[in-house]
Amino acid sequence: MRSRLTILESKEKQIRDWIVSHPEGHERGCIVLFRRIAHQVEGLPSSDRFIAVEVINMDGDWVLESSRTHFVINMRKFPEIYLRCEQEKLELGFVHNHPSGMDKFSPMDDQNEKNILHGLSGCNGKLSFLVSMVFVDEKWIARIRQGISPETIIEARHIAVIGESIELHGVPVPDSPSPESLKRQEVAFGKPFNMKMASLRVAVIGLGGTGSPTATLLARSGIGELIMVDGDILERSNMNRVRGYVANDVGKKKASRLGAYIDSMELGTKVAVFTEYLHESPSALDAVSTADVVFGCTDDVEGRDILNQAVYYYAQALIDLGIAAKIDTNKEGVPYLRDQRGRVSLVMPESGACLRCQRVVTEELLSAERAFKENPRLRELDAETLEREYYIRGGGVGAPGIGPFTSATADNAVATLMDLIKPFRVLPSDLRADNIWIDFKHLSIHSNEPIDDPTCIHCKTHDLLLKREESYRLDTPRLGRIT
C-alpha cells in the first residue's frame, strides 16, 4: 500500500546542491512540487506515484532560524505555494537534510509536517497530501501524510532517482531470508538488490515472442508487481517462440492466459492484465502510467510511439525490444536466413536517444501501419510493389519469429533492467547503452548511431519532459479524455 516517489537526476542534484551547501553546515530545506498518479489498477495494491516536477529553494525570509540540528520555517510563506498546488493540481513536498547524521525523522520534523499540513488542508482541503523527504549520509528517506488523517504516516516504498541508472533509496532489507527462488540471484547481486526488484512496478506491452519471455523472466527475477497489456489472441503459429502458454491457451487472450501462468508459478509477483491494445484502452494506458519501468514488446509502431511519449510525461524508464531479419533464397529456391538481429533500446527521461531518433518509430512506418489496418490485403504484397503501386515505404515481410532469437533478446532486456538497478556492465567504447543490437548470424554486438536532431521534442529540447497533461492523455485526443 506504500507510495513511490520519482525524482529525475537533474532535480535531485538541484536539491542536493542546495541543502548541503549552507556556509555554516546548518540544516537547509526546499519545497518540491509533485504530480500524483493515483490510478487504481485491479489486481495490484494501491500505490500512488509522486513525480517531482519543480524545486523551490527555501532561502531568505523562508528561514527564521537554523542550526546543524534544527530548522524553523516562516509559515507565512506557504499560502502562495498552497495556491499553486490547488491551481496546478500538484502535491506539496517539504525536503531538508540532517547534517548531524540522524538517520530518521525527528520530533521537530513531526511538528513541521503537521504545521504545514494543517495550513495546506485548511486551504486546499483534507484530501491534500504532504510529501516529506530527508537527505542524510548520501541517502534519502521519505514519508507521506494526508490532511484527512494527519497522524497517519504513509511510508514510501522507494524513492527512485532516475538518471542514466535508477537509484532506489529507502527500500528496507528485512532480516528474513530471501525466497529459495532468489537465493542464487542474491549471491550475484546481494539481498538489497532483490528487495529493490520487489519494490518495482513494471509494465510489459505486448506478450508475444519477446513479451512473454520478458514477463515470465521478470516474475522469476522477483519483480513485485507486473502489468501486462496485449489485445491479441494466442494462435498456434505463435507456439514456436512464446513462453508460458500451453496448447489449451490457443484461441484465448494472451494477457489473461499468461497472467494465469505467472500466478501458477507462486513466486509472489502480483499481476494485472489488460486484454486490449494499448492505443485502444485508456484504462491500460492509465495503468501503465503507474509503472516505474516499461518494457515495449509490441510489434505495432503506434504502440511504440505512445510509449516513446509516455517515458517523458510520466518519468519512466523505457526498455524497448525489436527483431529484424532478412530472408533470401539460394539458386535452388530454398529460403535461408540472410540476417537475424535482436534490438534492445533503453530510453531514460534525461538520457538516451528516443525511439524516433533511433528510427524505431518513423512517419513512414506509422503511415504504412495505418494503410495495412485500413486494407489488410496489402500485407500480402512485397515491399517493392507496395512502394511502386501504393506509395507505401516501410512495408513488406516482417521478421520471422524464431524462439531462440526472441528469447535471447528478452534475456538481454531483463539484464538491462538489472543493470539499471545495480550497474554491472562495462560497455566497450563502440557500444551505446541506449541502442544495442545482437547479430545472431555473425555472433556480434553493435549499436546504431541515432539521428542528430537538435529539434527533437522528445530527447533534445525535452518539451514533453514532466509535461502536465491537459484535457487528453499524453495530450492526444485519440487516447481519450482525462477523467
**Would you state the pLDDT for residue 390?**
47
HEC-encoded secondary structure of 132-165: EEEEECCEEEEEEEECCEEEEEEEEEEEEEECCC
Q: For 261-307, how does the pLDDT look when each residue is reduced to its tens digit (9 = 90+)?
A: 999 999 999 999 999 999 999 999 999 999 999 999 998 999 999 99
Q: Mutual orientation of helices 301-313 and 282-289 as an angle, nearest 10°?
A: 40
**Would you state the pLDDT for residue 396?**
52
Q: Which domain holds residue 42?
A: 3-169
Which of 159, 479, 420 lies closest to 293, judged by CA? 420
**Would you state the pLDDT for residue 387?**
53
- Residue located via cell numbers 534525461: 350
CA distances from 4 to 47, 201, 446 (A): 7, 10, 35
**Would you state the pLDDT for residue 222?**
97
Model confidence at 392, in pLDDT bands (50, 70, 90)?
very low
- Residue located via cell numbers 494501491: 46
- Determine how many CB atoms are found less than 10 A away from the CB of residue 375: 10
Q: Is the residue at 158 inside a domain? A: yes
Q: Is residue 95 scored above 90 in pLDDT?
A: yes
Q: Is residue 134 scored above 70 in pLDDT?
A: yes
Q: Do 105 and 187 belong together in one domain?
A: no
Q: Is the residue at 175 inside a domain? A: no
Q: Which of these three, 123, 142, 169, is where a domain ends?
A: 169
| Pairwise CA distance, residues 310 & 294, whole Å | 9
CB 137 within 8 A of CB 97: no
DSSP notation for 279-340: GG-HHHHHHHHT-SEEEE--S-HHHHHHHHHHHHHTT-EEEEEEEEEEEEE-TTS-EEEEEE
Q: Do 278 and 426 belong together in one domain?
A: yes
Q: Is the residue at 174 inside a domain? A: no
**Would you state the pLDDT for residue 336?**
85
Cell (9 digits) for 203: 509494465
Q: Do 229 and 317 belong together in one domain?
A: yes
| Pairwise CA distance, residues 340 & 350, whole Å | 31
When the pLDDT of each residue in the chain is averaged and rounded to a whole number, the result is 93
CB 133 within 8 A of CB 4: no
Q: Is the residue at 151 inside a domain? A: yes
Q: What percent of the chain has pLDDT over 90?
A: 86
Q: Do 142 and 289 belong together in one domain?
A: no
**Would you state the pLDDT for residue 199?**
97
- Residue 408: is it exposed, middle or buried by C-beta count within 10 angstroms (0-12/13-18/19+)? middle
Q: Is residue 388 scored above 90 in pLDDT?
A: no
| Pairwise CA distance, residues 448 & 434, whole Å | 9
Q: Do 163 and 50 belong together in one domain?
A: yes
Q: Do 269 and 323 belong together in one domain?
A: yes
Q: Is the residue at 410 inside a domain? A: yes
Q: Do 228 and 308 belong together in one domain?
A: yes
Q: Do 149 and 223 belong together in one domain?
A: no
Q: Is residue 397 scored above 70 in pLDDT?
A: no
| Pairwise CA distance, residues 272 & 279, whole Å | 18
Cell (9 digits) for 365: 512506418
Q: Do 163 and 233 belong together in one domain?
A: no
Mean pLDDT along residues 251-258: 98
Q: Is the residue at 246 inside a domain? A: yes
Which of 458, 480, 457 lies closest to 469, judged by CA? 480
Which of 456, 458, 438 lies closest to 448, judged by CA? 438
**Would you state the pLDDT for residue 398?**
61
Q: Do 378 and 473 belong together in one domain?
A: yes
**Would you state the pLDDT for residue 211?**
98
- C-alpha angle 184/190/11, rounded to 5°? 135
Q: For 28-85, how does the pLDDT look when each residue is reduced to its tens digit (9 = 90+)?
A: 999 999 999 999 999 999 999 999 999 999 999 999 999 999 889 999 999 999 999 9
Q: Is residue 248 scored above 70 in pLDDT?
A: yes
Please state the φ and ψ torsions of residue 478, each to the nearest 5 degrees: -70, -15
Least confident of 120-134, 152-166, 358-372: 358-372
| Pairwise CA distance, residues 211 & 243, whole Å | 9
389 contacts: CB under 8 Å, gap ≥ 6: 381
Q: For 411-458, how does the pLDDT look when each residue is reduced to its tens digit (9 = 90+)?
A: 999 999 999 999 999 999 999 999 999 999 999 999 999 999 999 999
**Would you state the pLDDT for residue 369?**
84
**Would you state the pLDDT for residue 413?**
98
**Would you state the pLDDT for residue 130?**
98
Which of 42, 117, 120 lies closest to 85, judged by CA? 120
Q: Is the residue at 436 inside a domain? A: yes
Q: Which of these three, 149, 169, 189, is where a domain ends?
A: 169
Q: Is the residue at 82 inside a domain? A: yes
Reduced to 3 states (helix: H, G, I; strand: E, B; else coil), residue 432 is: strand
Please state the φ and ψ torsions of residue 378, each to the nearest 5 degrees: -65, -25
Say how many domains are in the chain: 2
Q: Do 38 and 121 belong together in one domain?
A: yes
**Would you state the pLDDT for residue 367?**
87
Q: Is residue 87 scored above 90 in pLDDT?
A: yes
Q: Which of these three, 169, 196, 222, is where a domain ends?
A: 169
Q: Do 365 and 231 belong together in one domain?
A: yes
- Residue located via cell numbers 525489436: 322
CATH number at residue 65: 3.40.140.10
**Would you state the pLDDT for residue 326?**
85
CATH number at residue 291: 3.40.50.720
Mean pLDDT along residues 240-260: 97
CB 284 within 8 A of CB 207: no
**Would you state the pLDDT for residue 4?**
98
